[in-house]
Structure 1
Amino acid sequence: MPGRIIWELLQSVNAEVENVDAIRAEKVVMGLGYTAVQLSTGHVGLCYTFGSEMAPDCCQIWRKAGTLAGSPAIKIAELSLSWDLSEAVVGVAALNALSQLVIEKNLERYMIFEGNLIDQLEIRRNDTVVLIGNINPFIPKITEKTGNIFVLERNPRLRGVNVFPDTAVEEILPQATVAIITGTALANGTIDRLLELSKNAREVALVGPTASMFPDPLFKHGVSIIGGIKITDAEKILQIVSEGGGTPSFKEACKQIVIKPKQHKSFQ
């Protein structure tokens, strides 16, 4: 099982969504950049596809093609517990979609802002920022506030200049006073350890379309702020995903949102 946090997310959604067993996965779309699951309620969830990390001979989900749509959404979401990355991706997308129902039901629990995570994240001049995932648009905004930044990236093709491999995480992440973690960590089995290594940080952010999860289990494990998306045009987002689009293409079908708990730890 990829970790306790995914298990807790699954259990929480299962408990919080009314008549969850009656909700079906209406559409499952596995694109080059992202995977999308649309529910019978109309809600859509996304997960980064990790295409470069999947080996065709070990990916069970492709063998299930043609059988997923119409299945109970919670059963699809249970694939998030798989160590087969292709299954986990579909499961996390379904879990993401079900999370939208829980968030909508419990809006009073959170402070929700429209806009970019970096604009809501408190970064001080003397902070050490560790960015897990080479999220290029964030870097100039971070360096305006502090020169102490480390960027770690798993995919060698995305590293670029002055970016460390993710194997350096055990040494670098505990130095962070601000940790920014890609939401893809929810799907590849690394989120539990990354949050453990971030325990010294004043701010711990989870970011990206994949991060748009039911926040409470994440807040419980040390996340202080989530930068995700709210999909405003389900059909458009499904089209973009099916045509191989990624985050830059999502702008016309969603809006960026930032979620904090009502008692935000950095304000205490």
Structure 2
Amino acid sequence: AKAMPLSGRLSGRSAREYLDDLSSGNVLKRALGIATLNALSAACWDAMDHREYELELGTDAFDEVRLGRLPEYTVVVGALVPIIKKLIAAEASFHILEMDPSTLKPKELVYYVHADRAAEFVPQADRLVITGTTVLNGTLQGLLHMARPEAEIVVTGPTASMLPDAFFAHGTTLMGGILVTKPDELLDVISEGGSGYHFFGRSAERLVIRRPEVRESGCVAPRAKALS
């Protein structure tokens, strides 16, 4: 009851009440606030006649990370298995910032550094691939502030499925999330223990949100110093 004091009383709450919980000290309340923000973002996209960025359905953000031939250093924030596998296969130079080393396999631990050491590694990165969980736990702002202005920054995960303007204004070049297309069907699948294998392409789609000048020019535009 203490962890989620609103259990049994969530139905009927207004969207504004959920959004007010974005600043809550309770992580479960914040998660519901973010879920509400993501849902409202999808409604906004449906209503928009024009966007300053690109939405690509059916695209995996990890597939959009292009490993070049030139020496480059990547920092992965979180145990993001697909990109970690890709970097290992490419024999790339990288580290994994993670709070819990038990989430990594033995061959991945070679690249592990504790997340508390972010200030040592993030400013060196040519590329950052950041779990969307940082939106939930409040650490994304600090990571973006540490990053080099010219760094490629990818924020990905179901949490990062919202209007991207603030992210792009502070250096993010690409976001990867999920767009729910058939909510009732998705809830049925999840309630029956289903996973992405069961709902992608059916009741939800992978989503990539791309800052347009990145595709057009291949460069990264200047960003503001800190999130407001």
Give 1:156 shift: 4.2
Q: Could you state the TM-score of these two structures normalised by the residue count of structure 2?
A: 0.82
Structure 1 vs Structure 2 CA RMSD? 2.3
Give 1:183 shift: 0.7
- Structure 2 residue aligned with 1:86: 28
Does residue 121 of structure 2 align to residue 182 of structure 1? no
Segment drifting more, 201-210 vs 96-105? 96-105
Q: Using a 3 Å threshold, how does the CA distance of structure 1 residues 250 and 176 change in structure 2: closer, same or farther?
A: farther
User: CA deviation digits over 1:17-65, x for unaligned, max 9?
Assistant: xxxxxxxxxxxxxxxxxxxxxxxxxxxxxxxxxxxxxxx74x2xx2211
Conserved? CA contact 2:124–2:148, under 8 Å: no
- Structure 1 residue aligned with 2:208: 258
- Structure 1 residue aligned with 2:222: none
SS at match of 1:195: helix
- What is the alpha-carbon distance in structure 2 between the residues aligned to residue 149 and residue 203 of structure 1? 14
User: CA deviation digits over 1:127-157, x for unaligned, max 9?
Assistant: 1111111111222223344511111222343
- Structure 2 residue aligned with 1:133: 78
The count of aligned residue pairs is: 210
Q: Using a 3 Å threshold, how does the CA distance of structure 1 residues 146 and 116 change in structure 2: closer, same or farther?
A: farther
- What is the alpha-carbon distance in structure 2 between the residues aligned to residue 209 and residue 91 of structure 1? 13
Q: Using a 3 Å threshold, how does the CA distance of structure 1 residues 144 and 201 change in structure 2: closer, same or farther?
A: farther
- Structure 2 residue aligned with 1:197: 146
Unaligned 5+ segments in structure 2 are 220-228
Segment drifting more, 223-232 vs 99-108? 99-108
Unaligned 5+ segments in structure 1 are 1-55
Segment drifting more, 249-258 vs 167-176? 249-258
- What is the alpha-carbon distance in structure 2 between the residues aligned to residue 154 and residue 103 of structure 1? 34
Q: Report % sequence identity.
A: 29
Q: Could you state the TM-score of these two structures normalised by the residue count of structure 1?
A: 0.70
Which amino acid in the other structure matches residue 175 of structure 1?
Q
